[in-house]
Structure 1
């Protein structure tokens, strides 16, 4: 798999494929407890420009908790931390390019980009190719978020491509009495490629 190199700096956690362990794709269980918030299943496929599945791709995700707070020292938003949610996960795509994460829906949070600015709920995705210099980063949003209109990262993408960063509610992936399902396919290149970041966006 050959992917364009777009980033010169790291924008989130890097674990390494050799450290992917069973359970790493479940973000809801940390430190002996269950994360708070709406449990969700995020799944999809990694595809090339021709729609061919990309197996063996390393995906890493990071996100805020249900209250909109990241577990890192740079986040001074006074929402409570969840002791059972670290907000990071990883998995490797299967032979058909499929991946699945279990997590909680992240909350919106304020940032000081402009007056009364809030970031929509989103999950960061990092995708590695055959070498760890081949890294692409994108953000996944949720359908019909009322904060899209003021988000500079979302609105920096051409209007006709923004929907490629928005997940689709997937009732078939929803598990009764347990979790809502959302589908997010990642297309590496071509006319329908997923928008990837050119700059360092870690929030």
Structure 2
């Protein structure tokens, strides 16, 4: 007789709290001997990764404009050819020297997060849809007071034409908010701040 599993209830969502860094980035918190390096410490597996190397720097700000010092940020992106290192990728073979995913805790003194990665290529909007998305990187943020991780995107300030054609950006009705998704380029460094609330609140996506 099959036993009912109705007694197994969904665990309620809770804020990330002080333990998220211990579980996700033990070396960062001073707990060594579990992993040689924290998982997701960088998407570049070696110096053979194809594409333009860039550094992304930013902060996560609360509604008062104060940088959070306990945020954990993850990114997910395509490789330089616009291919994802995923079993579901059917358009071609993604760069084997690029994981497409990384995780970075904010600096405990300044709150700054830093990613060393490559600039992604353009990707299709949907299957069998000829429209292309502009180069972008998906961000996921957790921190104190956030029960469910927040998703957003970073586009590139030097991709004005591609940005103007991007299906997602064109869906945004309040165009004055589009700049909250644009990373400012300065040489090979991209500056991208995420604002949780306030006048500069970043656009977040329901995913």
TM range (shorter): 0.7 to 0.9
Question: What SS does structure 1 have at the residue aligned with 2:168?
Answer: helix
- Is the aligned partner of 1:167 residue 2:183? yes
TM-score by length of 2: 0.76
| 1:4 alignment partner in structure 2 | none
Question: How far did residue 19 of structure 1 move?
Answer: 2.6
| 1:183 alignment partner in structure 2 | 191
8 Å CA contact 2:42, 2:101 repeated in 1: no
TM-score by length of 1: 0.77
| 1:59 alignment partner in structure 2 | 73
| 2:34 alignment partner in structure 1 | none
| 1:156 alignment partner in structure 2 | 171
- 1:111 and 1:183 map into 2 onto residues whose CA distance is 25
**Structure with more relative contact order (C-alpha pairs < 8 Å, separation 6 or more):** 1
Larger Cα-atom Rg: 2
| 1:116 alignment partner in structure 2 | 130
- The list of structure 1 runs, each at least 4 consecutive aligned residues, that deviate by more than 6 angstroms after superposition, is none
Cα separation, partners in 2 of 1:152 and 1:65, compared to 1, 3 Å: same
- Measured on the aligned residues, the alpha-carbon RMSD in Å equals 2.1
User: Residues 79-125 of structure 1, C-alpha deviation per residue, up to 9 Å, x if partnerless?
Assistant: x4111101000011112221100000000022347853001100000
Count, aligned residues:
173
Cα separation, partners in 2 of 1:106 and 1:163, compared to 1, 3 Å: same
